[in-house]
Amino acid sequence: MTSNTRSDGINRRTILAGFGAGTVASLGAPQILRAQTRELVVGGAASHKAWVETHVQPLFEKKYNAKLTFEGTRSLVNLEKMQKNKDRPYLSVVQMDDPVMILAVKEGLLDPLTAAKAPNLAKLKPGTVHMDGQWANYLQPWQGIAYNTNVIKEPPTSWADAWDPKYKGRIIIPSLQNTEGLANLFVASSIATGKPMAEAMRDTESGFKKLVSLKPNLLTVYNQMPQAFSLLEQGEAHMIVGALSSFALQRRLDGAPLGLAAPKEGIFPVPSGIAVVKGGPNADLAFAYVNELLGAEVQNKIAPPTFALPTNVDVPIPAGMPTNATMHTIDWAFVAENRNSWVQRWDREMSM
């Protein structure tokens, strides 16, 4: 028979007891620390991946001892991910266009933001928190008029310039199938009726009639933005009316002969929304991430490279951005109710 008792009187049970809780805890500590490093998965636009990984991810991971994974794709793809995984969501945060946010709200896929969970909500400009906090805008890229500086020496001052007969066959506008196409419909209504923009946005009948009168000046209507900018940079087109700052100003920075004007009637925000996924993992981290993107520290970092206006009132407007232009707020719920019929009419009346 083999004895477990050593000559010094210490048996196996004594040795285990001697290691005690402290020693066992020490051996187990690395596993515990690894378990404490939680992961947050954020779904956003593919074009956002560079600035998230450069300016947001290092700050967030260090501050919250967490791992951040950014899945870059399109807003509708992120919506599909939420729909398919509704019972067991793996995304915690989504950064999507406002019109797609409305679809997510209708399906109960979002966890509303509150001041208690995201205190920086209180620092946002009016009109940037939507549907009782279902989502908020963390930046405002904007729409104006992009023009070829080799052809047009003085920046356009009005959206109405697009109707000037001297630009016959030289104007490009986005399709209404693109979200940025809505601005031209609303502006056309305001030009035709003289109504304030907020009122004109609901008079799309007048907008469509005015847009049809723009057809002699159109070179093309785009669905793919890069092709449209190629025509502008080559001088085939003289203006893209309703151009996005995030694209136009990056092209200018890359050396293209482009300018981007903020017309006197005002500019339109590109809907850059952020929301927490209902039932997603690590909800506390999700709200912390949203709060950081709404905060001054992060917006100071990301507004300049994205050519966008900050939504936090404590963040100065980056150099080169319009400082006094009126920003028109779009009623996205109204858009969601009517957009399908608008697109059908657009396809009938604006085909080239």
What proportion of the chain, given as a percentage, has pLDDT over 70?
90
**Of residues 50 and 32, more confidently modeled:** 50
| Model pTM score | 0.79
| Model pLDDT, residue 35 | 52
Is the pLDDT at 44 greater than 80? The verdict is yes
Instruction: Tell me the domains of the chain and their CATH numbers.
Output: 38-140+271-310 (3.40.190.10), 142-269+331-350 (3.40.190.10)
- pLDDT tens, 251-266? 999 999 999 999 999 9
Q: For residue 1, name the pLDDT band (cuts at 50, 70, 90).
A: very low
Alpha-carbon dihedral sign for residues 235, 238, 244, 249:
positive
Mean pLDDT of the chain: 89
Q: How confident is the model at residue 336 (pLDDT cuts 50, 70, 90)?
A: confident
pLDDT interval class at 332 (50, 70, 90)? confident
Half-sphere CA count of 239, side-chain side, radius 13 A: 30
Supply the pLDDT for residue 23.
Answer: 34
**pLDDT higher than threshold 90 for residue 75:** no
